[in-house]
Amino acid sequence: MKRSVATSLLIGTTALGAACGIGSIGNPDGTDPNDPNNNPTVLPDGGTAPPFAPATAAIKRLTREQYGRTIHELFGLGIKIPTDLEVDTKLHGFSTVGSSELTIGPRAAEQYEAAAFDLAKQVFSDPMRRAAFVGCEPKDAADPCIKTFLAAFGRRAWRRPLADAELTRWGNVVTDVTGKLSSVWVGLEHATAGFLQSPYFLFRVEVGFPDPSKPGRLKYDDYEMASRLSFFLWGATPDDALLDAAGRGELATVEGVRTQALRMVASPKARSALKAYFSEYLNLERLELITKDATLFPMMTRELGVAMREEIERAFEDIAFDRQADYREIFTTHSTWTNSGLAALYGLPDPGPGFSKITLPDSGPRAGLLGMAGILTLYAHATITSPTLRGKFVRTQLLCQDIPPPPPGVVTSIEDDGVTDKTVREKLDAHRKDPTCNSCHRFMDPLGLGMEDFDPIGRHRTMEGTKPVDASGDLDGKPFNGGKELGKALAAHPEIGHCQVKNLYRFATGHLETEGEIGQLAELSSKFEASGFKIKSLLVELVVSDGFRYAEVAK
């Protein structure tokens, strides 16, 4: 019974795309000369952006993070999320972008089927929980309350109302299973598991409809907008209030979207979802498994790696939500959070149990993101520091500048070169004498060398072996000394806000920005700056932008 129900429900994304009409509407025009969004946007370099053209609509599979959050929204926090699910694939730094490229193969289908029945069994094996979940105690499969339950649960799970034919179909599933297994509760359990295996649950079906006022464009309908808003701002399925707003047609307008967005960013769910974004953006998940040479760095444990991650996440949450401060403070702040392990690493007094907010001394060497051990540890080798990795992180992650990969055959490692009487700086100086290497290293090394005052696990140091540390560096012609001064230079860099906008846009829309969206990013960057670089303000402006609300007709 389980296999036949699941097989009939779980279909591939290609078939689903055809059923939803992706690519079935042809209008090659692409732009509307009367649309103000197609007026030239002036870019920071003085040039003009191409006319606005949204990206093509895509069906997106739920990420594991979204799947887990959605299950808790549907069933409550007491439900145990199955862990045997296919891992996410990151593209352009984010699992939300990778989810646009993923389908469900046979093995993943089996995993989702097993997870669906496991979750349903957790609910229906407890008489009190199942009665609260269903909202009634049906006498048989014909009880009218079953249809009420299917309609309510289906709307939450599929992020839209069910059609009459769909309600009939799922009512028949309950009836058939009840007849064969002589239990209406088992029938409801199978129907619940079926909902969780449907592509309408596992995929975000957001394909839009032709907007007659903007030829060549598709506008996301109200329920699709509810889904887009919720999975971006909350990382989970929409709540009833958002679905009700969609049902009233309120998400068809900028004002309606803004109203809901303001409500949503004020919710604790936004804190949690955006913290997950920031972790992906900085690759913080790697900290829990990172290893260093145990002989050289015995204090580097998994527990310390977890604490490093939490310090960074709490700092972001404090700036973005608690104080709603200027985002650029993340590079200069003296406020941070430590526990016993981090305090020992930083040479600070033990704060006692748990995490405590502290203020770093102004005279100390440490401040902001680049003074946090997690970043310094992530971008270093197992035995020595890596100015190249640290500099590349600043260039690519914080400033969104591309660094090409090294040419084939070039030896890039200096960790195991056998040279022990030279500092990392001295080794890199010799490395950069090769013109082939210098063409790229000159953009990375001068930044990373300015963080040489911190060792591979983020401890401050003044000596490397027997030689004094030289932490002088250069950011685009502006000299600095030490990671603390680099943080100040980054906070003042003209690209720092725009890079955050670009990454958040990718995470929100699930795609790499297109040429036709360059103007949208420039406008969002201007609004971000005008707001005083407030993250919550950027979230709202992003979701009301045409880039978030429209899609292009597939060519």
| 253-262 tens-digit pLDDT | 999 999 999 9
Domain end: 433, 464, 491, which one? Answer: 491
Tell me: do 12 and 101 sit in the same domain.
yes
CA 421 to chain centre: 43
Q: Which of 176, 223, 11, 228 is nearest to 103 (CA)?
A: 11
Find the helix packing angle between 184-197 and 164-181, rounded to 10°.
130
Model confidence band, residue 17 (pLDDT cutoffs 50, 70, 90):
very low
Model confidence band, residue 429 (pLDDT cutoffs 50, 70, 90):
confident
pLDDT at 71: 97
Tell me: do 432 and 288 sit in the same domain.
yes
Cβ count within 10 A of residue 85? 16
Tell me: do 131 and 8 sit in the same domain.
yes
Tell me: do 141 and 281 sit in the same domain.
no
Q: Which of 101, 232, 196 is nearest to 506 (CA)?
A: 232
Indicate whether 214 belongs to any domain: no
Contact 550, 214 (CB under 8 A): yes
Indicate whether 16 belongs to any domain: yes
Does 498 have pLDDT greater than 50? yes
Q: Rounded CA gap, 525 and 504, in Å?
A: 11
Q: Rounded CA gap, 508 and 358, in Å?
A: 32
Domain end: 443, 471, 491, which one? Answer: 491
For residue 92, report the phi and psi dihedrals to the nearest 5 degrees.
50, 35
Indicate whether 110 belongs to any domain: yes
Residue-range definition of the domain harbouring residue 66? 2-30+60-204
Would strands 203-204 and 209-210 be described as parallel, antiparallel, or unpaired? unpaired
Model confidence band, residue 49 (pLDDT cutoffs 50, 70, 90):
confident
Q: What is the mean pLDDT of the chain?
A: 89
Does 41 have pLDDT greater than 90? no
pLDDT digits (tens, 9 = 90+) for 265-277: 999 999 999 999 9
Tell me: do 191 and 279 sit in the same domain.
no
Tell me: do 73 and 194 sit in the same domain.
yes
| 488 Cβ contact partners less than 8 Å away, ≥ 6 residues apart | 331, 332, 480
Q: Rounded CA gap, 494 and 533, in Å?
A: 12
Burial (CB < 10 A; 0-12, 13-18, 19+), residue 484, is: buried
| 545 Cβ contact partners less than 8 Å away, ≥ 6 residues apart | 520, 523, 524
Does 27 have pLDDT greater than 80? no
Contact 292, 455 (CB under 8 A): no
Q: Which of 45, 74, 94 is nearest to 196 (CA)?
A: 74
| 190 Cβ contact partners less than 8 Å away, ≥ 6 residues apart | 1, 2, 5, 120, 173, 174, 177
Mean pLDDT value across residues 173-195:
96
CA 52 to chain centre: 25
For residue 164, report the phi and psi dihedrals to the nearest 5 degrees.
-55, -40
- Please give the structure tokens belonging to residue 325: 């401060």
Amino acid at residue number 535? I
For residue 59, report the phi and psi dihedrals to the nearest 5 degrees.
-85, 130
Does 418 have pLDDT greater than 60? no
Tell me: do 313 and 165 sit in the same domain.
no
Tell me: do 371 and 455 sit in the same domain.
yes
Burial (CB < 10 A; 0-12, 13-18, 19+), residue 513, is: middle
Does 374 have pLDDT greater than 70? yes
Percent of the chain with pLDDT over 90: 78
For residue 464, the cross-strand partners are: 467
Indicate whether 310 belongs to any domain: yes
Tell me: do 180 and 287 sit in the same domain.
no
From 41-55, 140-154, 302-316, 419-433, the region with the lowest mean pLDDT: 419-433
pLDDT digits (tens, 9 = 90+) for 191-240: 999 999 999 999 998 999 999 888 889 999 999 999 999 999 999 999 99
Indicate whether 456 belongs to any domain: yes
- Please give the structure tokens belonging to residue 1: 């019974």
Number of domains observed in the structure of the chain: 2
Model confidence band, residue 403 (pLDDT cutoffs 50, 70, 90):
confident
pLDDT at 21: 36
| Strands, E assignment, 236-347 | 335-338
pLDDT at 25: 29
Specify the 3-state DSSP secondary structure of 195: helix
Mean pLDDT value across residues 482-488:
96
- Please give the structure tokens belonging to residue 31: 């732009």
CA atoms within 13 A on the CB side of 97: 18
pLDDT digits (tens, 9 = 90+) for 525-543: 999 999 999 999 999 999 9
Does 13 have pLDDT greater than 50? no
pLDDT at 412: 59
Total residues belonging to the chain: 555
pLDDT at 409: 58
Indicate whether 216 belongs to any domain: no
Contact 377, 458 (CB under 8 A): yes
Specify the 3-state DSSP secondary structure of 94: strand
- Please give the structure tokens belonging to residue 401: 């500048």
Indicate whether 432 belongs to any domain: yes
- Round to the nearest angstrom and report the end-to-end CA distance of the chain: 42
Indicate whether 436 belongs to any domain: yes
Cβ count within 10 A of residue 522? 19
Contact 306, 287 (CB under 8 A): yes
Domain end: 148, 171, 204, which one? Answer: 204
pLDDT digits (tens, 9 = 90+) for 59-101: 999 999 999 999 999 999 889 999 999 999 999 999 999 998 8
Handedness of CA 321, 502, 259, 240 (dihedral sign): negative
Tell me: do 153 and 8 sit in the same domain.
yes
Q: Rounded CA gap, 338 and 352, in Å?
A: 10
CA 398 to chain centre: 16
Tell me: do 186 and 321 sit in the same domain.
no
Find the helix packing angle between 240-247 and 254-265, rounded to 10°.
170
Model confidence band, residue 11 (pLDDT cutoffs 50, 70, 90):
very low
Tell me: do 163 and 310 sit in the same domain.
no
